[in-house]
Structure 1
Amino acid sequence: MATTFADRLRSLTDEALGALIQLRPDLVVPVPSDLSALAARAQSRSSVARCLDTLDEFTLAILDAARLSRDAHGGVITVDAIVAQAAGADDADVRVAVDRLRARFLLHGPTDALHLVGAVEEVTSPYPAGLGRPAEMLEPQTAALAADRAKLRRTVLAAPAGARAVLDRLTAGPPIGSLNSAAMAEPVRWLVDNHVLVRVSDVGRMPHPAGELVELPREVGLLLRRETGPLGRLRARPPTPTEPVRNPAAVDSAGAGQVMEAVRNAEALLEALAAEPAPVLRTGGMGVRDLRRLARSLSLDERSVALLVEVTYAAGLLGEGGAASGSRAVHNGRATGTVDETFLPTTSYDLWRALPPAQRWESLARSWLAMPRQPGLVGQRDDRDRPINALSPDAERPGAPTARREALTTLAELPEGTAPGDAAVLELLAWQAPRRAKGREGTHRDALSGAAALGVTALGALTTYARVFLTDPVDEGDPLGVRGHPDAPGDTARALDHLLPSPVDHVLVQADLSVVVPGPPEPELAAELDVVAELESAGGASVHRITPASVRRALDSGYGAGDLHALFARRSRTPIPQAMTYLIDDTARRHGGLRAGPARAYLRSDDEALLTEVLADKRLSALGQRRLAPTVLICGYDQARLLAALRDAGYAPVAEDADGGMVLSRPRARRAPGRAPAATRPTDHPPVVLSGPRLAGVVEQIRRGDAAARATRRAPVTLRGATSTRTTGLTSVQAHGQAMAVLQQAVRDKARVWVGYVDSHGATLSRLVRPVSLSAGYLRAEDDRTETLHTFALHRITAAVAEEG
């Protein structure tokens, strides 16, 4: 009896079956009921295609060799025949590749009688190794020419130069060409007339858009490949990058600098959007003008700003908010805009800003790795020749996370410090998984450029903390709480934290009123400097400056002169220059000399000379002020407009309420509703690789299901007859009495029996159980295979047969 595919799976050990599941995890999603279902799934088109997508160039070539070496009748393949086809490759490498195919059950059976899974032919090219079909399948005249190898060789050598160029092109594969090509019409016709090429339409092919097609027979292709072998040039090993190896310490140092720059630019971007939000386009995304404005503000190119916008949005730090009315359309989970909607920092931004730099970077990097978007498409044209905007639905690419992980994993597999160029990485990816890498070159290039911009790579090499980042299992959760507080830094943050300068809690005040922060400031110090100073330059050491406007802003926020003196005295490691003391005191003395109130509006002051100065100031003539009293002016504009005009003119007014009290408040920060970052969304996680107890549990579940299915099929004939409505012989009363006797004896002997019964739907079923008790009109029995206790109503039991030996 022939051995079926399911029988071959059934003969595997638990370790071998577990290895198959690890190599092809889609086979157990969901877990199949038994090995027959697993076998059917393993031979399906979709599963075979997924498996082929993971194979390297050399293994796929050996699979083509297996297809070429099949027996013409039974389809039997031998390992020796595959080795013969792979001329030019080491026999040991070929046999290892065959073992890889057998481990994945693309080839199954003994080495001298292997069989190919049928779905392989359905999901691969009809031309294995780029060779055409045998001549006997194409045309009798060509078959006769191929049978005479000497004549075939003479015919090929006699081909004109143009015809030989056509043959060389078709030999490289695929072996199909157009007969109607204007440039090659005459050479192709010569080859067809001499039966070296065959019209495809002559063998029942469908018409092709390019016109009539011709095919190069397999025998001619093998003749032209006599120097390289039937499979062409084979590479059993991945290509080795020729670029120089960097010092890992230098790579980490450069990467840490880029990390600080990426975090600083992300914070500057969000602050710029908080100060001047960008409107959401009606079609979704951020407009080109706003992107250019942000690029000028951050002194970056538009491509870098687009990456930051996409990453901060994916991290949940940027979102849509401020819509007062109107409906919102939703596309792929992203809201498209209304007139009132703008892009703003979310409420999560304030929490993120308070984290250490290493944790801030890790949240950005993880969101970049998981987001299903391709930032490199921003600025390009879509199919309708329209520009693709940042955060627009046109930049959605579901395969982007996989492409990023593939590119980074390829770098991680190289020795530390190896810095291959983009072309070398793409060549490696094309060798490791040719089917998957084809057509993804642009996505892989975008992944490499994004990794360099964020500091995942530096000097062309992968950093050591990025290697930890790729293997840090934060996505699996922490069900036992062994990692401590959820906000505690992970392995990646700890590895990066050693490379970053420690946050500082002090400043250096200079005589020219500049304030130098010699390192990344602590969150509390950064918040204080945002209020009391103006940022001049950022970097590893940032420079701020104290100006009358910054002091006035601090006073408006509720600081007093004494508070500012105490702040700088506490934070500065250098003596406070006298010029700063005078500036603070002078600005504080003038602060509040003018009071603006809500009368539409009025301006009052106890200093009549100051009001006279304001009234005579030509810069304020547009306000149309009039004097009501020696100490009161009024104008036709509201309070906010009056305050802004006076501050622009260099005065220091404050608002007051209806009772005459000073109103001091820091400007309210606008925030969009919080959003979950891409790295924490369950649908974006990569599939979990089964291992250890989980893998063993899946194998045991499949084995039990298979045993149960086979046991059901092997129920005794007497039991099957007893549960059939066509049975003659014993009456139903006699059969029921006999069954009760068998069950009572089984309870005493603790033996297993086959029980036939009628379920609640009227179906007749059988089950192998071990009776536990027989009382109160019910049988209680245990199923050893599923370790469950079943209860049967005695009046539903039709038969009982003891298990045979």
Structure 2
Amino acid sequence: MTTSLADHLRTLPDESLAALLQLRPDLVVPVPADVSALAVRAQSRVSVARALDGLDQFTLQILDAARLTRDPDDGTTSTEAVLAMATAGPRPPAPATIRGAVHKLRALFLLYGPEHALRVVDGVDEVAPYPAGMGRPATELDARTAALCADPAKLRRTLLAAPPSARAILDRLAAGPPVGSVPPGALQAPPLGAEDSVPPDPTNGGAPTGSPVRWLVDNRLLVAVSAGTVELPREVGLLLRRDSGPLGPLRASPPPVAAVAREAKAVDSAGAGQTMEVVRHTEALLELLAAEPAPVLRSGGIGVRDLRRLAKALALDEATTALLLEVAYAAGLAGELELSGATTTRYGADQQILPTGGYEVWRAVSLARRWEQLARAWLLMTRQVGLVGQRDDRDRPIGALSPEAERAGAPAARRAVLAVLADLEPAVAPTPDEVLGLLDWRAPRRSRGREAAHREALVEAARLGVTGLGALTSYGRLLLADVAEADERGGDDPLGLRADAEDASTAVRALDGLLPAPVDHFLVQADLTVVVPGPPDPALAGELEVVAEHESAGGASVHRVTTASVRRALDAGYSADDLHDLFRRRSRTPVPQGLTYLVDDVARKHGGLRVGSAGGYVRSDDEALLAEVLADRRLEALAFRRLAPTVLVTPYQVNRMLLALRDAGYAPVPEDAAGAAVLTRPRIRRAPGRAPVGRTVDPLASPKLALPRLLGVVEQIRRGEAAARAARRAPAVVRGTPARTGPAPVHGHADALAVLQQAVRDKALVWVGYVDAHGATASRLVRPVSIGAGYLRAEDERTEMLHTFALHRITAAVLEGT
């Protein structure tokens, strides 16, 4: 007697059902109504695909062995049959390893039943139609091909007679997949009398063969399943794999890594140095955006010209600049500022990208904390930065921060790459090809087709300092563990409060031990250069930003005191005494006499001219200085005229006059209506604050629940099962169809699904009994259209309307006329 998956699940204890839900958490969302609904969901295409995506290459091959060894009559196989096929190759794995893979498949309920009568759940054949990359049996494809395959000796002779060009096609299809497309007309025979015009085939000793595909079809080694598609029968594929085994090469363990472990200290030192560069470049990038915000295009993101401008100013390539910009945006350090209606940009946009208020907070924390915020945002952001600069479907360039670079699977790709590095020995630096090989073995269904994203993740990890010298750093390993732990506790911290905790994370503490301690002093040279022998603390960095010009960065940054920088400090409110005190207090070397003279000279001239609004006026107690301004040809455009010996006026506004006077080498100071000097810092614009990207929901994963909660879910499913059993015993009530009293007899849920699936294939009418939203039973005569994702879609024969029924609410299904 055939045992369905639902019947098998009903016999299991609550702990076994909870273990299934723990391994396949997608089955809980939403909670199934009863065991039948759980079985339907466990066999659905989406759930089976998720389960298969998490399996390694060896386990998938063992599942293929179970599919290939199924009995054609009852569809069952056994562990012994799987062992026989898996050990048929030249280098068979250990039987214990094969049994372990079978046990894993049974725990996931991709296989179920006793060991002597294992069954494969229905959704597997739908998700992966070609087990082990082999086609269907010849009996399902073509009768004449089946007759050829039934004679092994004749099949072997036909295969040996194939021309080399045709044999190459067979070998390619035997490796999988077993189907191929052929150009139109390739399967057609030449017209009568045209056989002599077939050119000779040099791969066949000069004998003409025509199309090798047509030769294979004519000799029954390939079957034309449609006008442009051919398929390799399973028997031919097995014969071609006689040397490698029916499942192909079996590898029970991951491929080895040939890379030699580097010195752990060197790896961490290289990574720590890169973290300092990342933080410095990010801060410089945000300062550039503060000085000249980047306009947002109407299609989203920033333009190519602005990205090139930023890259040129930072002396970085565009790919690295785009990465830093995307990470800073994801970390909440940059955002959009809405412009007023009268303000427009050169692109006609109404938004600009510039730093947010969180940028000021970020600058005030330690270097390790700043890096952690950037690295965590990179791990969690759903952006694939490698797409920036490429072309989209409409042949338009993809810009930084544009919606076209959004990819939901990007966080999973990065974490999969880092997980491969984390599972190796510390300081081992595999090549990119070795990393891709490990990913292909670990989860071949997820990794294939995403090689470009994985390579980009390796490059970005190196640029951000997560890896050093090609190996995962110690603090990078801790950061990955912290993020994984945050995902595990997920719902315990819905507001993300732990991310803002006062205590530093383990990754921050580890990185702090590798970075040089912040310094609060500098060394002033005779040529007025200021050398900071290490990363400056936030207070020192803020002072240097005002009083000196930044020249170079690195382990020791270099600044230079100039006339313009001293004037800028005086404009910001410093006095000459304040500057002298600053250099004496911060410098570990004697302050050069030239620096003292420079400060005094600029301070003596500073404020010698006073500027107000008239249009604008200039006044000074120094009549000779005003006479010099009035005679200066560089200022003729301001049209000065003398109102008094100590006052000049101009029709132009104060700001323009200030710029012109400063460009001419003067040091004016604006004053208010009362004659007091106005000393102001440059106005800083900030975008509205943005929270950094938080925990990202992996589209390939579902929330994991603790075992006690899962046992509660199982109890709820048991109650639903009892209610459904009671509803099936209740008499059916037909609404709006007096000619019929409902489906009789009432079938089990699994049998009803089988009837519905058959009705979909035959497009037949069927009576469906179901429980409506109010708990009442009803029946309806419908023509099923499709079954999937837990729902039946069917057309009402009487009203010709399309209805949707939840599968767990269906209690019976009877074909019309039975």
Q: TM-score, normalised on structure 1? A: 0.83
Structure 1 residue 60 corresponds to structure 2 residue 60: yes
Separation in 2, partners of 1:384, 1:70: 48
Alignment CA distance shift 1:185-1:522 (3 Å): farther
Moved more, 413-422 or 177-186: 177-186
Deviation at 1:713, TM superposition (A): 4.6
Q: Following the alignment from structure 1 to structure 2, what is the Cα–Cα distance between the partners of residues 107 and 273? A: 57
1:372 counterpart = 2:382: yes
Residues 683 and 55 from structure 1, CA distance in 2 versus in 1: closer, same or farther, beyond 3 angstroms? closer
Q: Tell me how far apart the structure 2 counterparts of residues 276 and 365 of structure 1 sit (CA, whole Å).
A: 26
Of 216, 220, 242, 2:232 maps to 216
Q: Which moved more, 1:471-480 or 1:289-298?
A: 471-480
Give the CA deviation at 1:695.
2.1
Task: Letter of the 1:62 partner, please give it.
Answer: I
Residues in 2 aligned to 1:384 and 1:763: alpha-carbon distance in whole angstroms: 52
The alpha-carbon distance between structure 1 residues 233 and 485, as it changes in their structure 2 partners (threshold 3 A), is closer
CA contact (8 A) 2:17 2:714 kept: no
Choose which of 619, 625, 647 in structure 2 pairs with 1:632.
Answer: 647
Q: What is the TM-score when the length of structure 2 is the normalising length?
A: 0.82
1:314 aligns with 2:336: no
1:119 is matched by which residue type in structure 2?
A: G
Deviations 1:92-142 (A, max 9, x none): 222211111111000001110001100111111x22112122222222322
Alignment correspondent of 2:533: 518
Task: Give the corresponding residue for 2:571.
Answer: 556
- Once residues 235 and 628 of structure 1 are traced to their aligned partners in structure 2, the CA distance between those partners, rounded to angstroms, is 95
Q: Displacement, 1:683?
A: 5.6
Q: What amino acid maps onto 1:286 in structure 2?
A: I
Give the match for residue 704 of structure 2.
690
Q: CA RMSD in A?
A: 2.8
Alignment of 1:427-438 (within 5 A): 427-438=437-448
CA–CA distance in 1 between the matches of 2:164 and 2:724?
Answer: 71
CA distance in 2, matches of 1:480, 1:449: 32
Answer yes or no: is 1:189 the counterpart of 2:214.
yes
Deviation of the 1:679 alpha carbon: 2.4
Secondary structure in 2 matching 1:111:
coil
1:426 to 414, 436, 439: 436
Which residue in the other structure is 1:710 paired with?
722
Q: 1:699 corresponds to which residue?
A: 711
In 1: Cα distance, 2:635 partner to 2:236 partner: 92
The residue type equivalent to 2:96 in the other structure is: A
Distance change in 2, residues 1:12/1:411 (3 Å): farther
Give the aligned partner of residue 773 of structure 1: none
Structure 1, residues 301-347: CA drift from partner, whole Å, max 9, x if none? 0100000111111111111115012899xxxxxxx985342211011
- What is the CA deviation profile of residues 275-323 of structure 1, one whole-angstrom value per residue up to 9, with x for unaligned ones? 1111111221111111111111111001000001111111111111150
Tell me, in whole angstroms, the C-alpha distance in 1 between the residues paired with 2:603 and 2:693. Answer: 47
Give % identity: 63
Whether the 8 Å CA contact 1:514–1:543 is kept in 2: the answer is yes
| 1:598 corresponds to 2:646 | no
Distance 1:2 1:170, change over 3 A: closer
Letter in 1 for 2:25: P
**2:450 maps to what in 1?**
440
**1:497: which partner in 2?**
512
Aligned residue runs from structure 1 range 22-421, under 5 A: 22-86=22-86, 87-88=88-89, 89-90=92-93, 91-124=95-128, 126-180=129-183, 186-201=211-226, 207=227, 211=228, 213-325=229-341, 339-421=349-431
For 2:724 and 2:343, how far apart are their aligned partners in 1? 59
Structure 1 residue 36 displacement after superposition: 3.6
Separation in 2, partners of 1:214, 1:31:
43
Shift of the 161–419 alpha-carbon distance from structure 1 to 2, 3 Å rule, reads same
Matched AA of 1:310: E
User: Could you list the runs of 5+ residues in structure 1 that have no partner in the other structure?
Assistant: 202-206, 329-335, 722-760, 765-805
Instruction: For 1:635 and 1:481, locate their aligned partners in 2 and report how far apart those are by CA, in whole Å.
Output: 58
In 2, the alpha carbon distance for the partners of 1:460 and 1:253 equals: 12
663-672 or 502-511, which moves further after superposition? Answer: 502-511
Residue 337 to residue 354, structure 1, CA distance change in 2 (3 Å): farther
Q: CA deviation at 1:154?
A: 1.4
**AA of the residue aligned to 1:200:** V
Superposed, 1:435-514 pairs within 5 Å as 435-472=445-482, 473-474=485-486, 476=490, 486-514=501-529
Q: Is the 8 A contact 1:252 1:499 kept in 2?
A: yes
Q: Deviations over 1:353-409 (max 9, x none)?
A: 111111111111111111111111111111222111111111111111111111111
* C-alpha deviation, 1:483, in angstroms: 6.7
Stretch moving more, 260-269 or 235-244:
235-244
Aligned equivalents of 1:684, 1:151: Cα separation in 2: 53
Deviation at 1:32, TM superposition (A): 3.0
Query: In 2, are the aligned partners of 1:353 and 1:523 still within 8 Å (CA)?
Result: yes
Report if the CA contact (8 A) 2:380-2:411 is conserved: yes
Q: CA deviation at 1:38?
A: 2.5
More off after superposition, 101-110 vs 338-347: 338-347
Contact kept, 8 Å, 1:359 with 1:493, in 2: the verdict is yes
CA 1:315–1:645 in structure 2 vs 1: closer, same or farther (change >3 Å)? same
Distance 1:474 1:647 in 2: 55
Please tell me the residue identity of whatever aligns with 2:212: P
- What does residue range 568-579 of structure 1 map to in structure 2 within 5 Å? 568-579=583-594
Q: 1: CA distance between counterparts of 2:216 and 2:776?
A: 69
Work out whether residues 550 and 558 of structure 2, in 8 Å CA contact, stay in contact via their aligned partners in 1: yes
Aligned equivalents of 2:163, 2:647: Cα separation in 1: 104
Q: Secondary structure at the match of 1:678?
A: coil
SS at match of 2:642: strand
Task: Give the C-alpha shift of residue 707 in structure 1.
Answer: 4.7
Aligned amino acid, residue 218 of structure 1? R
* Residue 666 (structure 1) shift: 0.6
- Structure 2, unaligned runs of 5 or more: 187-200, 202-208, 732-773, 778-818
- What's the CA shift string for 1:607-635, capped at 9, x where partnerless? 11111222222322322222222211222
Q: Deviations over 1:72-111 (max 9, x none)?
A: 1100111111122222232222221111111100000111
In 2, Cα distance between equivalents of 1:285 and 1:310: 10
Helix, strand or coil: the match of 2:527? coil
Give 1:708 shift.
Answer: 6.5
- Tell me the SS of whatever aligns to 2:514: coil
Deviation at 1:13, TM superposition (A): 4.5
Residues 678 and 684, structure 1, Cα contact 8 Å, conserved in 2: no
Task: Give the residue type in structure 2 aligned to 1:374.
Answer: Q
Distance 2:134 2:498 in 1: 56
CA distance in 1, matches of 2:179, 2:210: 14
Shift of 1:39: 2.4
Q: Aligned in 2, Cα 1:482/1:50: closer, same or farther, shift over 3 Å? A: closer
Is the contact between residue 496 and residue 694 of structure 2 (CA under 8 Å) also seen in structure 1?
A: no
The residue identity in structure 1 corresponding to 2:314 is: L
Note if contact 2:408-2:699 (Cα within 8 Å) is conserved in structure 1.
no
Q: Is the CA contact 2:267–2:471 (under 8 Å) kept in the aligned structure 1?
A: yes
Aligned-pair CA distance for 1:700: 3.0
Q: CA–CA distance in 1 between the matches of 2:622 and 2:697?
A: 67
* Alpha-carbon distance change, 489 to 143 in structure 1, aligned in 2, over 3 angstroms: same
CA contact (8 A) 1:245 1:418 kept: yes
CA displacement at 1:689 relative to structure 2: 5.3
The 3 A distance-change label for structure 1 pair 481 and 605 is closer
Letter of the 2:225 partner, please give it.
V
